[in-house]
Amino acid sequence: MRPTRIISREDRRRAFFIAFFSAIGWLSFLWLSGILVPRIHERVILFGIFSFFTSLILGFVVYFLIRRFFQIPVKELDQEINHVIESDFLPRLEERKDDGLDRIRQAFNRVFREMTELKAREADWEQIQEVEKREHELRVGLADKSALAEKTSQELADRLRELYLLNEISQTVNSGLSLDEILKSITNVVGKTMGYKEFVVLLTDEDGEGLTIKATFGIPRSARLEGMRFTLGEGVSGVVAKTGKRILIRDTSKDERYLHYKGQKPEDGSFLSVPGKSRGKVQGVFNFFRPQVDGFSVPEMRLLTTVANQAAAAVEKARLFEKVQRLSVLDDLTQLWNRRHFLEVFEKEWKRAERFNHELALMIIDIDHFKHYNDRNGHLAGDEILKRLAQIFTENVREIDTVGRFGGEEFLAVLPRTSKAGAEVVAEKIRKEVETYAFPLEENQPGGKLTVSIGFSCYPEDGDNAARLIHAADLALYRAKNQGRNRVEGARREDKAEDGTGQHRLTV
């Protein structure tokens, strides 16, 4: 690339003429000095003076030329450059040929063009960066909004699930179902809806000394958990029942309190035990299990606490309902079936025996000289005798047998699938148990012992319907009384009602 010339052709001509005439003047001086001044030393002095003034004149001339043809144009160029640089866009120098700096101006204009293009590209790049920044901000904002929307959607889904569970349990509470049906409904709703592998319900005992597994979900029957009992403070469930505070075990393999349901469930994972409270009292404990470690979130635990309390309210209501039902059919004092319920049971058992052609035995038990005991010892002492006798009667019959209190000092017992001989064995066993039992204050009784008399009958031998069966057993009891008491007498053929109606003091 050729170097740029900064002195114009006109300036070169001017410099040439100045140098030419200066040389002519110098030569003329030399010529004249040789003619006018013959002596050498005078010539030297004259030459020095002339050289001084010539140099001074040449210095002024050179200064003028430099100022005129270089310094002033360069200063003007500098001002133009500064002015152009301070301009906003598209800077350009005016190209002139009279100052000899036209090529410099052209070079600067090329630089300015490149700077302008660079500035334009920089502006475009800034715009691109600004657009990319805004796009990034929009993407981040959209991502945040998307995450927020997803979180809100999840929260709404959790809330809807919570409302569904609470609604289902609330309907269960108000359904008036039995306790077993309520427990089954709760386990199905909670287990299936919330996706737990295992879900166990334990209810506190009536005496408040422990709790028992009453229902399970997702656990095979082979584990035999139902009916398993824990005392208060035993294992995680016992501690929760005792303290009324939930316990979360993030990893059951690292917590000795988790008993694996006394070894019946060896799997490890995360375990949550929540107390079910109703009116401040723990009604039961609800255990949740997941196979992964740390499988329960804080919102989930809050939900399960609410669910457990709702379920506890349902359990309390069912228990209260069962208690009212039980009180309506139980004798308050002895906790045996009362007369009305016993006769209903007896009627059903007789119809079942008639339908399947099974034997059915009936016993009527009467306390000997019980009025005498009450008169001598008071009715409170007599009530204690009735309670202890009821316990003796229930302990000496089978689970399928039914014992009830008829009223006063008389009791009834129905024995399904029992022959007359079998009924006599059971009656004699009860009589001997009573005779040998040491009752308080029995020494004041006739004979010094508290005893009972028992009459019994059997279907179909002693009657073909419930009324005649009762009539026959009642007559057998009177016979035992008339023959000295503390006896067992069975029905006889002549004990059947002669009119065939079976009328007697017990009405079915």
Between 404 and 151, name the one with better pLDDT: 404
* pLDDT-above-90 percentage for the chain: 37
Residue 464 structure tokens: 């073909």
Residue 4 has pLDDT above 60, yes or no: no
Are 229 and 183 within one domain?
Answer: yes
Binning the chain into helix, strand and coil, the percentages to the nearest 5 are: 60, 15, 25
Cα–Cα distance measured from residue 218 to residue 238, given in angstroms and rounded to the nearest whole number: 22
Amino acid at 28: S
Residue 502 has pLDDT above 50, yes or no: no
Q: Residue 185 is part of a domain; what is its CATH number?
A: 3.30.450.40
Are 311 and 343 within one domain?
Answer: no
- Is 478 contained in some domain? yes
Phi, psi dihedrals of residue 320, rounded to the nearest 5°: -65, -40
- Is 168 contained in some domain? no
pLDDT of residue 139: 84
Q: Residue 464 is part of a domain; what is its CATH number?
A: 3.30.70.270
Encode pLDDT of 45-88 as tens digits: 666 666 666 666 666 666 666 665 555 666 666 666 666 666 65
Are 199 and 311 within one domain?
Answer: yes
- Is 483 contained in some domain? yes
Residue 135 has pLDDT above 80, yes or no: yes
Rg (CA), the chain: 61
Are 15 and 85 within one domain?
Answer: yes
pLDDT of residue 500: 44
Residue 458 has pLDDT above 70, yes or no: yes
Are 205 and 117 within one domain?
Answer: no
Are 30 and 122 within one domain?
Answer: yes
Residues 6 or more apart in contact with residue 186 via CB below 8 angstroms: 169, 172, 201, 215, 311, 314
Cα–Cα distance measured from residue 351 to residue 414, given in angstroms and rounded to the nearest whole number: 13
* Domain end marker among 158, 182, 200: 158
Name the domain count of the chain: 3
Are 343 and 482 within one domain?
Answer: yes
355: left (phi over 0), alpha (psi -120 to 50) or beta: alpha
- Between 113-117, 273-277, 343-347, 383-387, the lowest mean confidence (pLDDT) is in 113-117
Are 4 and 110 within one domain?
Answer: yes
Are 236 and 249 within one domain?
Answer: yes
* Domain end marker among 327, 357, 378: 327
Residue 89 has pLDDT above 60, yes or no: no
Q: Which domain holds residue 268?
A: 174-327
Are 317 and 339 within one domain?
Answer: no
Cα–Cα distance measured from residue 492 to residue 480, given in angstroms and rounded to the nearest whole number: 12
- Is 506 contained in some domain? no
pLDDT of residue 303: 84
* Domain end marker among 327, 346, 361: 327
Phi, psi dihedrals of residue 458, rounded to the nearest 5°: -145, 140
Encode pLDDT of 177-230 as tens digits: 678 888 877 777 777 766 677 889 999 988 788 999 988 888 888 778 888 999
- Is 188 contained in some domain? yes
pLDDT of residue 427: 96
What is the side-by-side strand order in the sheet with 402-407? 402-407, 410-416, 360-367, 452-459, 488-490
Are 38 and 98 within one domain?
Answer: yes
- 3-class SS of residue 96: coil
Are 348 and 380 within one domain?
Answer: yes
* Residues paired with residue 275 on neighbouring β-strands, in sequence order: 285
